[in-house]
Amino acid sequence: MPVTQPQSRAVRRWIAAVLKVGLSGALLAYLFSKAAGDDSFHQLRTQPKNWWLLAGALGVTLAAVSTTIIRWFLLVRAVELPFSLREAFRLGFIGYLLNFFTLGIVGGDAIRAVFVARQNPGRGAVAVATVVVDRIFGLFSLFLLVSCAYFAIDWSNVEARDPQGLQTIQTVCHIAIGCTLAGCVGFAVLLLPGFTTSPIWDTLASTPKIGKTVTHLIDAVRMYRRRIHVLIITVVMSLAVHGLLALAIYLIAHGLPGQAPSFTTHLVVSPMANAFGSVPLPGGLGAYEIALDFLYRRVSPESTAESQGFVIALTFRVITLFIATIGVAYYLVSRREVKSLIQEAHREANVGEAT
């Protein structure tokens, strides 16, 4: 019996999902095996902890997640799509949950876009564009925060066990600065009169594989170029999100035994780890942990346990999974609707692959 094209796509997605989960597991297994031979890892697990600071990290992380939901809500309302803050929180936490536990291509972004598109027939591209803008400005703000923190740190006074590794961190900061400048230039160019009406966009929109993405991007630019104040608010809120996540990591570091780098240093380390954690793995599982472990080893003093970055990452992972349980409650209340949204997101993806 011949395999149909939809079945072939489903098999490819299943294989990709298995590979992603396997890669996440391999990364975590590598970190655990490396930590197993480190005496300081066992000390970090067994010594007393400041549970109040760890609870504070939970509250700060929840505030960061809530801010991202409100940010997207403002972007949706800015393009005059009917949408309530209550629905934004419901979809936001369900999406946060699905980013961890859904295999395949369907994650939180797809669910949010499909829901808003379903509520507004004929404006599906606008709904997708709100999610695209949300992600783009979140990434831009990440680079911006790292760039600002880099200039606020006196790198000559940073105590690090590996000076050469510290130079690697500074090199990554230089890349972030370059991305920030490129982003500023890019946004300025996009706002030039006539840029969004150029015939080149029609040509690119019909290009296989990238055409749909280009269409969503240019739709987003057309929508928001007259709403600059909304974009400015989005950048400010995104900076707050990354700052809150850095504060959460800082609180975890001080809630655990041992010394920790300064808060300003965390404004560099935390966003960098979050950038690695955004790779297409289930919730960034494994990628975030290995990134924070790598970065912490290069900015921490000699007296800090070598495995402290890994332990901090694991603690933060537990906090994010705890927050994801809020999505479980929303999911249980609206299981049929969520399943329907997932199926529709799969159909949209199949159409995108076919074109």
pLDDT at 140 over 90: yes
Residue 159 one-letter amino acid = E
For residues 282-302, give the mean pLDDT. 79
Q: Are 281 and 24 in contact (CB under 8 A)?
A: yes
* CA–CA separation, 321 and 248 (whole Å): 14
CB 121 within 8 A of CB 58: no
- Residue 26: CB atoms within 10 A of its CB come to 11
- Any idea what the Cα angle at residue 327 is, between residues 96 and 55, rounded to 5°? 85
CA–CA separation, 333 and 229 (whole Å): 36
Residue 238's contacts (CB-CB under 8 Å, 6 or more residues apart) are 71, 137, 138, 140, 141, 142
Angle subtended at Cα 310 by Cα 59 and Cα 163, rounded to the nearest 5 degrees: 115
Q: What is the pLDDT of residues 148-166, one digit of tens each?
A: 999 999 888 888 777 788 8
- Average pLDDT for residues 106-110, to the nearest whole number? 66
What are 295's two structure tokens? 């970065």
- Inter-residue contact 123 to 220 (CB < 8 Å): no
Taking alpha carbons only, the member of 326, 301, 259 closest to residue 100 is 326
> Is the Cβ–Cβ distance between 270 and 242 less than 8 Å?
yes
Neighbours of 222 (CB within 10 A): 16
The model's pTM: 0.83
Residue by residue, what is the 3-state secondary structure of 8-71? HHHHHHHHHHHHHHHHHHHHHHHHHHHHHCCHHHHHHHHCCCCHHHHHHHHHHHHHHHHHHHHH
**Worst-scoring range by mean pLDDT, 165-174, 179-188, 281-290?**
281-290
| pLDDT tens-digit map of 321-334 | 889 888 888 877 77
